[in-house]
């Protein structure tokens, strides 16, 4: 008896999952259970899992590049730290790793910066900046350690200030 109740309950749950009601319009919305068909429909409507990186707008037929251009923090980071070469860049993973950098060629101290994007929103907790220092002695022995939080905070503040400026400029252009 208990097995029959569990089976019947499971069947009702599975049947109810196949269609949902849109909370705004109240219309029945069918959810495709087949992941292959669902992925094909998404690619046809949106482009790919990375968005529309080809720039082809399927609805309008125009070429609009929107990959990474709508994320203000991403653009502000690239603008703020444009003097250091990039070692690794992962938009989908939300991370930029800069290469080792020193102001002088003969310097025995270098810095490395890593920026992690935790959210697309323009807030202080939306990104994390990690900085490392490398000190090398004359006999090529190097020691790597995490830089002080104050230095990371200054870089983060510069990125956020740049992002605010970009956001204000965009707001002025849209008016």
pLDDT, position 67? 41
Residue 62, both tokens: 């125009």
Phi, psi of 72 (to 5 degrees): -65, -40
pLDDT, position 63? 40
Write down all domains in the chain, each with its CATH number in brackets: 72-174 (3.30.530)
- Cβ contact 146:134 at 8 Å: no
Beta pairing partners, 30: 19
Q: What is the dihedral of CA 73, 123, 80, 165, to 10 degrees?
A: 90
Q: Is 45 left (phi over 0), alpha (psi -120 to 50) or beta?
A: alpha
pLDDT, position 91? 83
pLDDT, position 4? 80
pLDDT, position 173? 84
pLDDT, position 18? 52
Q: How far apart are CA 89 and CA 82, in angstroms?
A: 13
- Cβ contact 101:86 at 8 Å: no
Q: How far apart are CA 81 and CA 151, in angstroms?
A: 14
pLDDT tens for the chain, residues 1 to 175: 788 888 877 766 655 555 566 555 566 666 666 767 766 766 666 554 444 444 444 444 444 434 455 688 999 999 999 989 999 988 888 899 999 998 887 778 999 999 999 888 888 888 999 999 999 887 778 899 999 899 999 999 999 999 999 988 888 888 7
């Amino acid at each position: 008896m208990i097995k029959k109740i569990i089976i019947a309950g499971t069947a009702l749950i599975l049947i109810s999952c196949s269609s949902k009601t849109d909370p705004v319009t109240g219309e029945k919305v069918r959810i495709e259970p087949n992941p292959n068909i669902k992925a094909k429909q998404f690619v046809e409507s949106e482009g790919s899992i990375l968005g529309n990186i080809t720039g082809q707008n399927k609805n309008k037929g125009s070429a609009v590049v929107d990959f990474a251009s709508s994320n203000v923090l991403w653009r502000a980071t690239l603008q703020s730290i444009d003097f250091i070469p990039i070692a690794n860049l992962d938009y989908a993973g939300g991370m930029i790793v800069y290469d080792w950098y020193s102001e002088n060629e003969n310097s025995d101290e270098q810095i490395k910066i890593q920026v992690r994007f935790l959210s697309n929103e323009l807030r202080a907790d939306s990104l994390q900046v990690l900085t490392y220092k490398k000190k090398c002695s004359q006999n090529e022995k190097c020691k790597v350690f995490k830089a002080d939080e104050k230095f990371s905070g200054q870089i983060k503040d510069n990125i956020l200030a740049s992002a605010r400026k970009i956001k204000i400029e965009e707001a002025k252009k849209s008016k």
